Amino acid sequence: MRQRFTVTLSMLLIICLLSAAQAAAADLQAGVQLSYGSTNFSKLLGTDTLKAAQLLSNVWARYDHEDLRFTGLYQGSTGLGSKAMGRHLGQVAANYRFLKEGPMQIYGGIGYHFLSTSVHDQNRSFSLTGHGFAGQVVVDIELAPQFSATAALTTSPWVKWSYSSGGQQDNDIATRSSFNAKIDFVYDFSEQLSVQVGLLGGTFRVPSFSDKGETQASFTAINAGITQRF
């Protein structure tokens, strides 16, 4: 239920961002990407480890107006093969451009961050869902005409977690940090369309709770996609 709420809310926020920006004379971009990578649990509820290859879909939007940049992102992944593992990430942020030096621009801001992960196999079936405010830094660099790089770093130092398994619920879990990063190399082959390739990754931690131990995980992926300018 919480996963569906996270996905739905993240998508609604991106749609609202797109709808609100279409009437403004500013730069609006939206894109879709497909990624292949893996998620590695170095600790899983304190008793196990788990690693699985994953296929990931990524939908994002960006709206620039003068020195302001608003961003929205949703990532959803599913495990490949016999590993029934899923992860969902949704975040929105408002950023201010505090540096413009030659071909480089740097933005910094704050937003909100949603993250959920689930594991379903013969021995267990559960999900962990977290949310919290997040800080964001975005760096744009023009490398050559029609070719640029963009890096976005987002960290949420106080993610509030909850646990759900077979009707059992625990919402009284302490906070822990979450971090994710995404870098894209972008080629503009027309005024409206661009293609990009890049990397993404991140880490998150869930502290011990009840009779269950700590969870630590990291994920990485390579991605490729297309961007539409409006």
- pLDDT tens column, 107-132: 999 999 999 999 887 778 899 999 99
pLDDT value for 52: 87
* H-only helix segments in the chain: 2-21
pLDDT value for 13: 55
pLDDT value for 25: 43
pLDDT value for 14: 55
Residue 11: count of CB within 10 angstroms of its CB: 15
Q: Which residues of the chain have pLDDT under 50?
A: 1-7, 9, 21-25
pLDDT value for 106: 98
Reported pTM: 0.84
pLDDT value for 49: 86
Domain with 131, as residue range(s), is 2-229
pLDDT value for 171: 87
Backbone angles phi, psi at 6, to 5 degrees: -60, -50
Q: Dihedral (C-alpha) 215, 220, 224, 225: value to the nearest 10 degrees?
A: 30
Q: Is the dihedral of CA 74, 58, 163, 179 positive or negative?
A: negative
Reading the block at residue 107, the tokens are 């933005």
pLDDT value for 81: 72
Bridge partners (DSSP) listed for residue 36: 55, 222
Backbone angles phi, psi at 52, to 5 degrees: -150, 140
pLDDT value for 27: 85
The count of domains in the chain is 1
pLDDT above 90: percentage of residues in the chain: 66
CB 175 within 8 A of CB 159: yes
CATH at 75: 2.40.128.90
